[in-house]
Amino acid sequence: MKNKILIVGAGFAGAIHARELAEHNFIVTVIDKRNHIAGNCYDYIDQSGIRVHHYGPHLFHTSNKNVFDYLSKFTKWINYEHKVVVRLPDQSFVPLPINIETINKVFDQSFINEDDVKEFLYKKSIKNMNIVNAEDWLYSKLGEQLTNLFYRPYTKKMWGLDLKEISYSIVKRIKFSFSKEKRYFPNDTIQCLPQKGYTSLFENIYDHENINLNLSTSFDSTMLKDFDFCFNSMPIDEFYNYCFGHLPYRSVKFTHDILNTDLSSGHVTINYSDSSIYTRETWWHNITNHHVKKNNLFIRTKEEPCGYEDNNFERYYPVKTHDDKYGKIYQKYKEISQNKMNFIGRCGTYQYLDMHQVINQSLMNVSKWIDSYE
């Protein structure tokens, strides 16, 4: 007998589980409340002839060759190394993450040696042996001026919290290079994009006779009776009717403007260091292979972070406070036993994960489950 599996969510976690199960002779039904596959990676070619990532820029980067090799079965790649700049109050641009050029501009210096920059910042840093929050960590690395210019206003907009209120685990993801390095992901050995976009990649993953896709379909617990097991990427607190309280998320409202003038100055992503409601803008035509057809039009996407309640409950980033109060609530949900269900993905596990981490976790999780099942 071929066992029937329900997967809730058609993003990366759902797709990887679905494909692996299908190849092991399970009959898989994937549902998603949205009208498209690919989750937050969903992209499309706009009327302007430019490929747009509907939910903001998704840049594939990893040093995990197993993840890359797995996805390579479903797509060809184009090389792309992402770079970000920050617009300063004087309207000039400097690289982010902070590098030697950023330091020279902000402090009116002329360093040419990485060690000199490190010594300069060491004198400005505020040493704190007891790192409790994001402010502590950034002050210990950069000092007050750089922290307050680049990270305090951005963090307030992004998370709705001050640096003192959020976990330093959030900012520990930031990579500094005090050389001339300008890449946003300098430590990852693999940086590329699917040649025909993410949606095409997902179409290939789901292209299997044992996979049935049902879009515009919300999960209902009555569905479970028709399946032997469920892998569920819906918010775990929602599934349990918030019995231990809500797990908060930050969301983002995207404004896609079609313009007949290129105002990008050649940049892909421009972060704002000001106190406006927006955190950054993205110019899609400057990403390799995204200007598919030249129509003399350009798309700028601006991002306005908000609470998920203010954006149709679209959940993007789990909120991590310095005292981990929401993590403790998640643990209560996690401990509730569900014999025929496994929660997966960002919302199912309340984790802040990059794409390659979701894929790696999913491959390990489904492999372990198949081995135990058989």
pLDDT cut 70: percent of the chain above it: 99
Q: Please write the tens of the pLDDT for every residue from 328-342.
A: 999 999 999 788 999
- Look at residue 129 in the predicted model and tell me its pLDDT: 74
1 pLDDT tier (thresholds 50, 70, 90):
very low
Residues 186-206, mean pLDDT to the nearest whole number: 97
Contact 183, 2 (CB under 8 A): no
Environment class of 143 (CB within 10 Å of its CB; exposed 0-12, middle 13-18, buried 19+): middle
Give the largest CA-CA distance in the chain. 72
Terminal-residue alpha carbon distance, the chain: 13
Residues 167-178, mean pLDDT to the nearest whole number: 86
- Look at residue 2 in the predicted model and tell me its pLDDT: 64
174 pLDDT tier (thresholds 50, 70, 90):
confident
pTM: 0.94
Query: How many Å apart are CA 44 and CA 347, to the nearest integer?
Result: 24
Q: Please write the tens of the pLDDT for every residue from 25-57.
A: 999 999 999 999 999 999 999 999 999 999 999
The residue among 36, 74, 41, 42 whose CA lies nearest residue 60 is 41
Other CB atoms within a 10 A radius of the CB of residue 303 amount to 23
Sheet of strand 27-31: strand arrangement? 211-214, 27-31, 4-8, 229-232, 341-343
- Look at residue 173 in the predicted model and tell me its pLDDT: 81
In this predicted structure, the answer to whether residue 373 has a pLDDT above a threshold of 90 is no
Q: Please write the tens of the pLDDT for every residue from 157-172.
A: 999 999 999 999 889 8
Cβ contacts of 96 within 8 Å, gap of 6 or more = 84, 85, 86, 102, 150, 184, 271
In this predicted structure, the answer to whether residue 93 has a pLDDT above a threshold of 80 is yes
Q: Please write the tens of the pLDDT for every residue from 346-364.
A: 999 999 899 999 999 999 9
254 pLDDT tier (thresholds 50, 70, 90):
very high
User: pLDDT averaged over the chain?
Assistant: 95
Q: What is the DSSP code (8-state) at residue 148?
A: I
Q: Please write the tens of the pLDDT for every residue from 98-111.
A: 999 999 999 999 99
In this predicted structure, the answer to whether residue 177 has a pLDDT above a threshold of 90 is no
CATH no. for 4-82+189-249+313-373:
3.40.50.720
**Beta-sheet pairing, 317-318 with 93-96:** unpaired
Q: Please write the tens of the pLDDT for every residue from 290-308.
A: 999 999 999 999 999 999 9
- Look at residue 128 in the predicted model and tell me its pLDDT: 77
Residues 54-80, mean pLDDT to the nearest whole number: 97
374 pLDDT tier (thresholds 50, 70, 90):
low
Other CB atoms within a 10 A radius of the CB of residue 245 amount to 12
Q: Please write the tens of the pLDDT for every residue from 136-155.
A: 999 999 999 999 999 999 99
311 pLDDT tier (thresholds 50, 70, 90):
very high
Domain boundaries of the chain, sorted by first residue = 4-82+189-249+313-373, 84-171
